[in-house]
Amino acid sequence: MSNLTFNPVMQSPLHHFNLKTKQQHVDGSKGVWANEMPLLGYISLRGNAQNALFTKAAKKALGFALPILPCSLISTSWGCIYLLSPDEWLLVCDRELRTELQQKLEAALVGIHSQVIDNSGGFTTVFVQGKNASDVLHHCTVYDLNALTIGKVVGTTFGKTSVFLHQHNNGYKVIFRRSFADYIWRYLERSALPYDFGIANLGSS
């Protein structure tokens, strides 16, 4: 009988690009900077936004009211809540907070038609910034970034796949499924080359 033990390791879907070894302090030397915001928590919440019991219970659990306007998001003390469709929200938080948030939601929503799922193994986020960030993203998506105002999140194309996109501070967050990470990163790198591309140390940006 084998004595081998199973020790799973969580890795970024972009780990093979060795981004950590290439990152630099963000300054004006590059036209666009990008890097992954790895290993965050992603919780999918589904329910009826017209049901006051559902929205009240969710607010009690999260400490913030769910955004209900189309394509809207809100920033919270623990992360961000995105409205993805009329009955679906994505909660993004520090990974160590995801279990607590999920448990609070499940407890508050007992008896209310809803669904709470930890999708942290399914998504990742890349942050894109710099003076040419919007130019690069215009090469990647058909969405007019001039219409992407603060507080708005859109689902749009990115090459031959799809992403969720919104403004964040001095740049853009691009949220997508881990299974498309290699394709999206290579597409972004290729689009950014004419503008001088750097791997950002997000801790110093």
Displacement of CA 176 from its chain's centroid (Å):
7
Asked if 194 contacts 136 with a C-beta cutoff of 8 angstroms, the reply is no
Give the position of tokens 């990152």: 23
Answer yes or no: CATH 3.30.1360.120 is held by domain 19-38+123-200: yes
pLDDT above 90 for 149 = yes
For the chain, the average pLDDT equals 94
- DSSP string spanning 109-123? TTTSSEEEEE-TTTE
Token pair of 121, please? 């193994």
Tell the CATH topology of 41-118: Alpha-Beta Plaits (3.30.70)
Q: What is the layout of strands, in order, in the sheet containing 73-75? A: 73-75, 79-85, 88-93, 41-47, 114-118
pTM, rounded to two decimals: 0.92
Strand order in the sheet with 153-158: 153-158, 161-168, 171-177, 123-129, 32-37, 197-199
Residue 205 confidence (pLDDT) above 80: no
pLDDT digits (tens, 9 = 90+) for 103-139: 999 999 999 999 999 999 999 999 999 999 999 999 9
Residue ranges of the domains in the chain? 19-38+123-200, 41-118
Q: What are the tens digits of pLDDT across the range 18-73?
A: 999 999 999 999 999 999 998 899 999 999 999 999 999 999 999 999 999 999 99
Gap between the Cα atoms of 194 and 92, Å rounded: 32
